[in-house]
């Protein structure tokens, strides 16, 4: 049913529909509304979950770890500092193959302290073994949670899923969202049936010490699962479209006017909405431009990107994060995708924008398309303020 | 009654580990309807090394600090499933995982009021060995680590003077089967675990002083420079105190006359060197034989020496030389060379001899089973232990030695002077005279190349490789004062034992060591039971492995109460506290009986139980543990510790008043 509501509330609604048994979170801007909504639902009896108000994000992640290990679906949400604080536990959860959904309300990382949106937090955990899905708008944010539980809890996957939505832009933005019915959700998402759980009837030990004779294979296994996910996610996206009527195609990328494009921007998250506006505008003027939106950042869809963009001469990678001391994260992956391929773009330029919540406007996007006329750019920061970069010497 | 074992034997805890005892008692008291969340620590490591687990109840380990939070999640999930009733949720950790890094999650769990029992195994520190094949240098020569006893004088590296000193061994610890690596230099090799510290030279750059630092095996890389033993103190000749059988002894009617030397000498040692390679003893016959073909140089030299030393008859044939003397047979048997080509070794006392006698022994060895190859000598043997000890002996006798080369060969292969009689394994080592660089002519260069070049006893060698060997039984020693010893010719440290928030005042640990200016840990124990009570939780108790029924009663009592519970169990650690493995319970008992570890029980903030004592002076508890040894001659510190005990006794009313008749 279509409702006009704040992104955080939409997420709370869909989480309620997924019926997690245990929810545990620690408040941090801009995730707060999500957990406040859920707490209210529990208080009203609309959601029969155990809501554990913990004293830190590290403990929040530990509580949901314990809950999933006991065979119960769980949920948590966080941002920025909280995500990095619980990083240790997140690696632990993935390594122990426990399915979980975590909403990351993308926010910049301290220092300097900044509560506004960029994607540095979730991108910094790209090695952790978590599946990472990025939402362009609040509808996608809702849908990715359903996909997340379904994908992660499948016995062939057994990995946790991070649903990333841009803080404030999506969490605090009001949009028209189709909130599914409980029956639809129940049809798409069966109850969680764990492969193994903590149960006195059948005791198991979890989290053992793996010496050099055993550790390597556990990482290989997760890597192999990610390879299989590139085929599995499209299947689940198909099932999703049958139940809910929204077609995410392969659930990995979205191709927006890329077929005959001469210039394409590759990006993730809410900025894709802005880019689509510019593409529409420029297409009306006859310019052949397009957008490749990445939905699944982990597993990274190298092959699909090559297929979609091999005939596009000029590509811009727009990163809302930076890997200090090296090329930008998304640009690295896209360039790696084309390395050694017979057909690849002539220019793959990298642009970093929007850090710390600096607005990415329609003008910024147009500027990026213009800059693709130049020779290839290793890494270009957009919308820098030169007056802040003047060196000043004290007396 | 439960029949099946809930914490199974076969885990790899040290002998006498207090924590293993307590962990078993806790789960047995709680029963099979228990789910455990365990922090990282000794218990988790020794009980769940994949693919094995000692736990017969559902058990989960996540990280070092979050068992209380994981347990909270488990409890919440059980409530959601409607299954909480009848299932006990226990979160457990060591003192570090509780009072230090784990305190935040624990406080949160208490504050939220979860129905969880938290057990802290308090061994008062963070508790890490050498392979059992290690050879240790003592003042009675080289000894296998298995033969070292408490009280033996062990050779050590004095860290301030860089001299060779002898210090008492204050403990030997069996660390169980661990992953063992081999560290190699050009002239030495040693097997140790990855956390074993070695003394490494730290070069601080031009113009700055170099210094020594302890680095664990996993921190050491190839080309790091480590301290090795160059030579030992010039000892004296060995006194044999051998009593001959004489004519006129019981049932002795006839005996071949022979003279047995009273002390060792270069000649005798050369003779014995030949014996090791070519000789055998049959006491029953009696017969001492040597395989020395006629016309060989060795036979001529040998017979000369024999006549000069023993003045007794020899019978000879084409291949062999015999002495039919019961006294010679018994004498040689008593010297410790062992019998059989594959078994022969160089006994410990040879390592204590003066250099000229040791050199003569090596000459004798070369005369029998050695051969010259250009400028170096090669010695072959089918006894690997012999080759291992020969390497160490040669190193401290002015030779450079290469590594041991071992091969398996088929029968009839020519080996030195004879053909092999059957398939066998044998090896060889190469050695050559050590060339001394001219220290006077080139002082700074030679010192740069080898920091200890002008040191009488020690040398610096570069690490050539470190590789993983496999799982082996391991042991460690505790050496007083210098806390290092020389194993397989390399200077190594005692195992580390670092302080935690529950490490008691004045304990000697590796991160709060007792030194000339410090009496160890300067902080008193964090009062965890008080902190627990400040949270207003319904049950708080302390327990110990010394009083087992009390411990189990407290666990059972705790799980019968709804809400957060805290039990802190005192668990002695023989390795870290440096006491005998069999003394665990005795040590724990003295902790209680001196008043240093009060046994108390609080319900809803009120003291409902305590163990009263007839107080013993704190010295009785301190003196049986190596970690407090440094205090025994320090009356000021003893007074402070006695004060701690007295305050406990007063605070909880622990003193047992005499009965009024």
Best of B73, B83, B110 to disrupt the A interface (most A CBs within 10 Å) is: B73
Judged by CB atoms closer than 8 Å, whether chains meet at A209 and B44 is answered as yes
Say what the pLDDT of residue B426 is. Answer: 83
CA separation for the pair B491, B134 (Å, rounded): 12
Answer for the pair B490, B131: CB distance below 8 angstroms, yes or no. Answer: no
Q: Would you call B35 an interface residue with chain A, using a CB distance cutoff of 8 Å? A: yes
| Residue ending a domain, choose from A209, A244, A279 | A244
Same domain, A309 and A180: no
Please report where in the chains the tokens 């609080």 appear, as a residue: B602
pLDDT band per the 50, 70, 90 thresholds, residue B513: very low
More confident residue, B440 or A134: A134
- Side-chain half-sphere CA neighbours of A164 within 13 A: 30
CB < 8 Å to A52, chain B: 72-73, 76, 112
pLDDT above 90 for B132:
no
DSSP letter assigned to residue A365: H
Which CA distances in Å does B100 have to B66, B112, B540? 12, 20, 19
Compute the Cα dihedral for B524, B528, B534, B535 and give only its sign: positive
Judged by CB atoms closer than 8 Å, whether chains meet at B48 and A56 is answered as no
Contacts of B542 (CB under 8 A, 6+ apart): B529, B567, B568, B569, B570, B597, B598, B599, B600, B601
Least trusted range by pLDDT, from A197-201, B174-178, B471-475: B174-178
Same domain, A266 and A194: no
Same domain, A232 and A197: yes
Contacts of B634 (CB under 8 A, 6+ apart): B519
What average pLDDT score do residues B443-464 get?
A: 76
Same domain, A232 and A302: no
Judged by CB atoms closer than 8 Å, whether chains meet at B61 and A203 is answered as no
Q: Would you call A196 an interface residue with chain B, using a CB distance cutoff of 8 Å? A: no
pLDDT per residue over B194-250, tens digit each? 778 788 888 888 777 778 887 888 888 888 888 887 766 656 778 887 888 888 888
Compute the Cα dihedral for B136, B140, B144, B147 and give only its sign: negative
| Residue ending a domain, choose from A195, A215, A244 | A244
Q: Would you call B195 an interface residue with chain A, using a CB distance cutoff of 8 Å? A: no
Residues 3-32 in B contacting A (C-alpha not used; CB under 8 Å): 32
Same domain, A90 and A127: yes
DSSP 3-state assignment of A123? helix
Same domain, A226 and A257: no
Number of domains in chain A: 2
CB < 8 Å to A67, chain B: 73-74, 76-77, 80
CA separation for the pair B379, B394 (Å, rounded): 11
Nearest residue of B to residue A210, measured between CA atoms: B50
Same domain, A279 and A310: yes
Q: Would you call A199 an interface residue with chain B, using a CB distance cutoff of 8 Å? A: yes
CATH number of the domain within which A327 lies: 3.40.50.920
Give residue A118's domain range. Answer: 2-244
pLDDT per residue over A129-138, tens digit each? 999 999 999 9
Say what the pLDDT of residue B204 is. Answer: 80
Same domain, A291 and A195: no
Say what the pLDDT of residue B629 is. Answer: 79
Strand ranges inside chain A, DSSP E: 2-6, 22-25, 50-53, 74-78, 101-106, 131-134, 161-166, 174-178, 205-206, 253-256, 263-267, 289-294, 296-298, 314-319, 347-352, 380-381
Same domain, A176 and A281: no
What average pLDDT score do residues B309-329 get?
A: 88
pLDDT above 50 for A80:
yes
pLDDT band per the 50, 70, 90 thresholds, residue B256: confident
Of B51, B62, B468, the CB nearest to A62: B62
Two tokens, residue A52: 């554990």
CB < 8 Å to B32, chain A: 200, 203
CA separation for the pair B527, B501 (Å, rounded): 9
pLDDT per residue over B602-652, tens digit each? 999 999 999 999 999 999 999 999 888 777 877 887 888 888 889 889 988
**pLDDT above 70: percentage of residues in chain B:** 90
Q: Would you call B314 an interface residue with chain A, using a CB distance cutoff of 8 Å? A: no
Judged by CB atoms closer than 8 Å, whether chains meet at A63 and B33 is answered as no
Which H/E stretch holds residue B388? Answer: helix B384-395
pLDDT per residue over A333-389, tens digit each? 999 999 999 999 999 999 999 999 999 999 999 999 999 999 999 999 999 998 888
| Residue ending a domain, choose from A184, A215, A244 | A244
Two tokens, residue B192: 């140790």
pLDDT per residue over B76-123, tens digit each? 999 999 999 999 999 999 988 898 889 999 999 999 999 999 999 998
More confident residue, A100 or B291: A100
CB < 8 Å to B559, chain A: none
Q: Would you call A53 an interface residue with chain B, using a CB distance cutoff of 8 Å? A: yes
Least trusted range by pLDDT, from B57-61, B66-70, B417-421, B554-558: B417-421
CA separation for the pair B548, B550 (Å, rounded): 5
CATH number of the domain within which A158 lies: 3.40.50.970
DSSP per-residue string spanning B563-585: S-EEEEEE---HHHHT--GGGHH
pTM score, two decimals? 0.65
Say what the pLDDT of residue B496 is. Answer: 45
DSSP per-residue string spanning A23-81: EEE---TTTHHHHHHHHHHHHTTSS--EEEE-SSHHHHHHHHHHHHHTT--EEEEE-HH
pLDDT per residue over B16-54, tens digit each? 999 999 999 999 999 999 999 999 988 999 999 889 999
Which H/E stretch holds residue B590? Answer: helix B584-593
Same domain, A81 and A160: yes
Contacts of A52 (CB under 8 A, 6+ apart): A22, A23, A24, A60, A63, B72, B73, B76, B112
pLDDT band per the 50, 70, 90 thresholds, residue B659: confident
Same domain, A141 and A161: yes
Judged by CB atoms closer than 8 Å, whether chains meet at B74 and A52 is answered as no
Angle between helices B103-112 and B67-81 (to 10 degrees): 30
Same domain, A344 and A222: no
């Amino acid at each position: 049913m279509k409702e006009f509501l704040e992104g955080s509330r939409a997420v709370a609604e869909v989480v309620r529909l997924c019926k997690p048994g245990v929810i545990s979170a620690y408040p941090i801007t801009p995730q707060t509304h999500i957990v406040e909504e859920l707490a209210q639902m529990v208080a009203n009896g609309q959601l029969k979950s155990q809501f554990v108000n913990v004293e830190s994000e590290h403990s929040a992640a530990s509580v949901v770890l314990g809950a999933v290990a006991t065979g119960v679906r769980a949920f948590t949400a966080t941002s920025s500092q909280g995500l990095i604080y619980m990083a240790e536990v997140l690696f632990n959860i993935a390594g122990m193959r426990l399915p979980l959904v975590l909403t990351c309300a993308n926010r910049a990382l301290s220092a300097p302290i900044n509560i506004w949106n960029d994607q540095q937090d979730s991108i910094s955990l790209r090695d952790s073994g978590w599946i990472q899905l990025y939402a362009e708008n609040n509808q996608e944010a809702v849908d990715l949670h359903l996909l997340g539980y379904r994908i992660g809890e499948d016995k062939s996957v057994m990995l946790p899923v991070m649903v990333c939505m841009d803080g404030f832009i999506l969490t605090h933005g009001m949009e028209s969202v189709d909130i599914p019915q409980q029956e639809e959700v129940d049809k798409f998402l069966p109850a969680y049936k764990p492969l193994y759980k903590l149960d006195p009837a059948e005791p198991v030990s979890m989290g053992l010490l793996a010496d050099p004779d055993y550790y390597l294979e556990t990482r290989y296994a997760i890597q192999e699962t990610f390879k299989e996910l590139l085929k599995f996610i499209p299947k689940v996206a198909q099932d999703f479209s049958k139940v809910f009527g929204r077609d995410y195609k392969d659930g990995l990328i979205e191709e927006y006017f890329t077929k005959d494009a001469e210039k394409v921007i590759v990006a993730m998250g809410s900025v894709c909405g802005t880019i689509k506006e510019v593409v529409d505008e420029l297409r009306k003027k006859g310019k052949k431009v397009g957008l490749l939106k990445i939905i699944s950042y982990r597993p990274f869809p190298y092959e699909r990107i090559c297929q979609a963009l091999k005939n596009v001469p000029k590509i811009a990678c727009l990163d809302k994060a930076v890997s200090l001391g090296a090329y930008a994260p998304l640009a690295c992956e896209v360039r790696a995708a084309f390395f050694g391929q017979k057909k690849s773009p002539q220019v793959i330029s990298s642009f970093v924008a929007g850090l710390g919540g600096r607005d990415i406007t329609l003008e910024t996007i147009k500027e990026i398309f213009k800059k693709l006329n130049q020779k290839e750019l290793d890494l270009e920061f957009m919308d820098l303020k030169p007056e802040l970069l003047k060196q000043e010497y004290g007396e | 009654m439960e029949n099946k074992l809930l914490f199974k034997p076969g885990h790899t805890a040290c002998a006498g580990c207090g924590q293993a005892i307590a962990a078993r008692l806790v789960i047995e008291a709680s029963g099979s309807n228990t789910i455990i969340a365990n922090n990282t620590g000794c218990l988790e490591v020794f009980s769940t090394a994949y693919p094995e687990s000692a736990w017969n109840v559902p058990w989960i380990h996540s990280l070092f600090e979050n068992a209380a939070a994981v347990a909270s999640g488990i409890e919440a999930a059980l409530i959601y499933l409607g299954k909480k009733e009848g299932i006990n949720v226990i979160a457990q950790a060591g003192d570090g995982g509780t009072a230090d890094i784990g305190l935040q999650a624990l406080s949160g769990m208490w504050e939220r009021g979860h129905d969880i029992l938290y057990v802290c195994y308090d061994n008062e520190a963070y508790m890490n060995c050498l392979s059992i094949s290690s050879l240790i240098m003592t003042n009675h020569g080289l000894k296998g680590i298995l033969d070292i006893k408490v009280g033996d004088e062990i050779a050590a590296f004095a860290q301030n003077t860089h001299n060779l000193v002898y210090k008492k061994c204050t403990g030997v610890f069996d660390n169980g089967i661990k992953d063992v690596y081999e560290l190699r230099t050009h002239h030495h090799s040693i097997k140790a675990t990855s956390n074993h510290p070695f003394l490494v030279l730290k070069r601080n750059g031009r113009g700055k002083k170099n210094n020594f630092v302890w680095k664990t095996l996993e921190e050491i890389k190839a080309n790091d420079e480590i301290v090795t033993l160059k030579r030992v103190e010039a000892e004296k000749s060995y006194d044999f105190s051998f009593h001959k059988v004489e004519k006129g002894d019981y049932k002795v009617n006839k005996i071949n006359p022979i003279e047995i030397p009273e002390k060792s000498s270069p000649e005798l040692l050369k003779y014995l060197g030949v014996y090791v390679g070519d000789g055998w003893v049959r006491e029953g016959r009696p017969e001492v034989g040597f395989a020395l073909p006629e016309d060989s140089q060795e036979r001529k030299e040998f017979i000369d020496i024999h006549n000069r030393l023993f003045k007794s008859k020899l019978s000879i044939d084409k291949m062999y030389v015999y002495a039919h003397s019961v006294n010679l047979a018994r004498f040689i048997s008593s010297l410790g060379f062992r019998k059989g080509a594959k078994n022969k070794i160089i006994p410990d006392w040879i390592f204590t001899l003066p250099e000229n006698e040791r050199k003569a022994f090596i000459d004798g060895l070369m005369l029998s089973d050695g051969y010259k190859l250009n400028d170096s000598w090669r010695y072959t043997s089918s006894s690997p232990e012999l080759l291992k000890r020969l390497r160490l002996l040669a190193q401290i006798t002015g030779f450079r030695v290469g590594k041991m080369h071992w091969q398996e060969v088929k029968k009839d292969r020519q080996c030195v002077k004879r053909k092999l009689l059957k398939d066998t394994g044998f090896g060889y080592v190469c050695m050559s005279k050590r060339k001394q660089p001219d220290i006077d002519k080139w002082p700074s260069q030679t010192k740069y190349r080898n920091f200890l070049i002008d040191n009488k006893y020690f040398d610096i060698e570069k690490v050539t490789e470190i590789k993983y060997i496999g799982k082996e039984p391991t042991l460690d020693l505790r050496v007083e004062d210098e806390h290092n010893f020389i194993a397989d010719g390399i200077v190594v440290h005692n195992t580390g034992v670092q302080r935690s928030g529950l490490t008691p005042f004045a304990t000697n640990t590796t991160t709060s060591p007792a030194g000339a200016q410090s009496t160890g840990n300067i902080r008193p124990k964090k009062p965890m039971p008080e902190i627990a009570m400040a949270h207003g939780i319904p049950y708080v108790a302390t327990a110990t492995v010394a009083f087992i029924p009390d411990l189990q009663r407290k666990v059972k009592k705790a799980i019968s109460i709804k809400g957060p519970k805290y039990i802190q169990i005192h668990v002695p650690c023989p390795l870290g506290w440096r006491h005998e493995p069999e003394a665990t319970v005795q040590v724990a008992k003295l902790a209680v009986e001196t008043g240093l570890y009060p046994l108390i029980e609080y319900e809803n903030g009120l003291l409902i139980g305590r163990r009263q004592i007839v107080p013993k002076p704190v010295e009785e508890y301190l003196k049986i543990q190596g970690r407090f040894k440094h205090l025994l001659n320090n009356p000021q510190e003893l007074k402070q510790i006695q004060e701690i005990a007295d305050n406990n006794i007063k605070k909880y009313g622990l003193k047992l008043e005499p009965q009024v008749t």
